[in-house]
Amino acid sequence: MKPIGELQMNGQKYLGGTFTFPGTTITVHRMGYGAMQLAGPHVFGPPKDVDAAAAVLCEAVESGVNHIDTSDFYGPHVTNQIIKQALASL
């Protein structure tokens, strides 16, 4: 395990450091993004402003987030479509 607060290339710290999945070479930053709130009110339907929701996700990824917690039940299916659109532009 790497130390808490490992530095990114731009000098910022990764909150919580990194984690490598046992038996793999896959490493993620411990601080991820929970996509549940990308959906509309009460996690149902689209958000009021899809572009703003996508911008929040892009900002998270640009800040170093490299794993996203999501589910087809959020929206349902709404958050995964927002994630797909937002990340396609990066």
Catalytic site residues?
Answer: 74
23: left (phi over 0), alpha (psi -120 to 50) or beta: left
Cα separation values, 1 from 10, 11, 85, 90, Å: 21, 20, 33, 29
